[in-house]
Amino acid sequence: MGLNDQWMQRDLKVLWHPCTQMKDHEQLPLIPIKRGKGVWLEDFEGKRYLDAVSSWWVNVFGHANPRINQRIKDQVDQLEHVILAGFSHQPAIELSERLVAMTPAGLERVFYADNGSSCIEVALKMSFHYWQNTGKPQKKRFVTLTNSYHGETIAAMSVGDVPLFTETYKALLLDTIKVPSPDCYHRPEGMGWEEHSRNLFAAMEHTLAEHHETISAVIVEPLIQGAGGMRMYHPVYLKLLREACDRYDVHLIHDEIAVGFGRTGTMFACEQAGIRPDFLCLSKALTGGYLPLAACLTTDKVYQAFYDDYPTLRAFLHSHSYTGNPLACAAALATLDIFAQDNVIEANQALAARMASATAHLAEHAHVAEIRQTGMALAIEMVQDKASKAAYPWQERRGLKVFEHALSRGALLRPLGSVVYFLPPYVITPEQIDFLAEVASEGIDIATRDSLSVAVPANFYPGFRDPG
């Protein structure tokens, strides 16, 4: 038995992995990773895998980045953790100052959480509580887009719409209002992204006009609906939404957990619409993929609604034991240093162009309906019929075939159902992008070679997030 097998067997005796049907590992080998360096992950037998998905969208400057490593090492000798209620520390203060300075003007207060889902919970609770404190307790509902994903804790699931995550737990979820997504995949032939996104805003306008007196906030993933299949839309929708939220006195929450920090081509997706949300949720790339940390930024107007004498009980009573952990804040500060010093956003433009050119040939593939891209996120949608965009049945697990082929070639590509996507670290080279495009092309050929064996309606699309 090789080293990989030894570690795999030990793992399967004790671990329960996320987003996984564990029975799959009776046939699909689990891969234990010993070390990482740059874009590469290496198993216990020396095989390397190019991390094309940034280890679940978190790692932007490569594994074992020496600058982030050193900042954490320096911090651990100073202070590993301290309660953030009644106490503070330098990394949290400095990180908050820098986040306020780099995000859209008006976001002046930073509240820390431990991960993306928790950050969404903070934003939802803070919005709801704001209206309680300001004499409008009837404003308690949330509006979300179809095909959206905001996390897997209860309130975060409530404002999501990916059936794999919500259907089982629907009895636990909040009553939310779902509005059709401005996703441009199904736009009419000949219609551009902007026109389609404008047209789809009519449903949101109608919803806000009819229900604004009971709506607390609208929550969106700006520009890219990640777990819903990397579906994308035009920034004009965000601009129209900001204007409508102002008109109807409704909060706007931007979930930039997956798309913040350069992924869409600008530091934050909201910049492309020239707007400022009332709540900006950040996580994932915030620490360069090193440690769990999330930040919910909001306005001083929201902050002041909670600022009062203790007996009024208006304080925002929400906490996590590791809130604002110094080691995580140190990693985030090092990550922001790299953004500030290395001209990352501009460099990414060339990498994004290479991703586009390297995959352009797939537009002619008989089973590729669309190649779509926003900045450093590119998605290739496999379909059973190109003309009608009829999706493959999820039971076919076409994406899993791409995943398995990529592993055999030394790449970590983890499709979302039948959507193959690149979301690589920003330290990837043009040649490595070409390699990923080659591997993806081979995998798509293999995955689409066989005819259907499961009969389901042609328009069936469950929005499943990972291969399986």
Give residue-wise pLDDT tens across range 291-337: 999 999 999 999 999 999 999 999 999 999 999 999 999 999 999 99
- 10 Å Cβ neighbour count for 155? 22
The pLDDT confidence band at residue 78, using thresholds 50, 70 and 90, is very high
Taking residues 82-93, what's their average pLDDT? 98
- In the predicted model, is pLDDT for residue 461 greater than 80? no
Q: Which tokens belong to 382? A: 């496999």
Find how far residue 208's CA is from the centre of its chain. 26
Mean pLDDT score of the chain, rounded to an integer? 95
- In the predicted model, is pLDDT for residue 226 greater than 80? yes
Closest by Cα among 355, 359, 467, 461 to 414: 467
What confidence tens digit (pLDDT) does each residue in 376-400 have?
Answer: 999 999 999 999 999 999 899 999 9
DSSP state of 23: G
d(Cα 402, Cα 161) in Å, to the nearest integer? 25
- In the predicted model, is pLDDT for residue 118 greater than 50? yes
The pLDDT confidence band at residue 454, using thresholds 50, 70 and 90, is low
What confidence tens digit (pLDDT) does each residue in 168-206 have?
Answer: 999 999 999 999 999 999 999 999 999 999 999 999 999
Tell me the DSSP string of 382-427. Answer: EEEETTTTEEPPGGG-HHHHHHHHHHHHTEE---BTTEEEE---TT
Q: Are the CB atoms for 56 and 18 separated by under 8 Å?
A: no
- In the predicted model, is pLDDT for residue 241 greater than 90? yes
- Is 284 among the annotated ligand-binding positions? yes
- Is 255 among the annotated ligand-binding positions? yes
The radius of gyration computed from the CA coordinates of the chain, to the nearest angstrom, equals 22
The strand pair at 48-51 and 40-43 is best described as antiparallel
Sheet holding 251-255, edge to edge: 107-113, 294-299, 279-282, 251-255, 215-220, 141-145, 177-179
Residue 390's DSSP bridge partners are 385
Residues across the chain: 468
Residue 446: what pLDDT?
A: 97
- Is 54 among the annotated ligand-binding positions? no
Q: What SS3 class is residue 119? A: helix
- Is 319 among the annotated ligand-binding positions? yes
Q: What SS3 class is residue 281? A: strand
Taking residues 433-443, what's their average pLDDT? 98
- In the predicted model, is pLDDT for residue 346 greater than 80? yes
Residue written as token pair 């990414």: 348
- As a whole-number percent, the residues of the chain with pLDDT over 90 amount to 94
Q: What SS3 class is residue 37? A: strand
Residue 467: what pLDDT?
A: 44
Q: Which tokens belong to 392? A: 């493959």
d(Cα 87, Cα 93) in Å, to the nearest integer? 11
The pTM (predicted TM-score) of the whole model is: 0.96
The pLDDT confidence band at residue 164, using thresholds 50, 70 and 90, is confident
End-to-end CA distance of the chain: give it in Å, rounded: 28
The strand pair at 294-299 and 368-374 is best described as unpaired
d(Cα 433, Cα 50) in Å, to the nearest integer? 10
Q: Are the CB atoms for 288 and 330 separated by under 8 Å?
A: no
Q: Are the CB atoms for 372 and 230 separated by under 8 Å?
A: yes
The pLDDT confidence band at residue 451, using thresholds 50, 70 and 90, is confident
- As a whole-number percent, the residues of the chain with pLDDT over 70 amount to 96
Alpha carbons within 13 A on the beta-carbon side of 148: 29
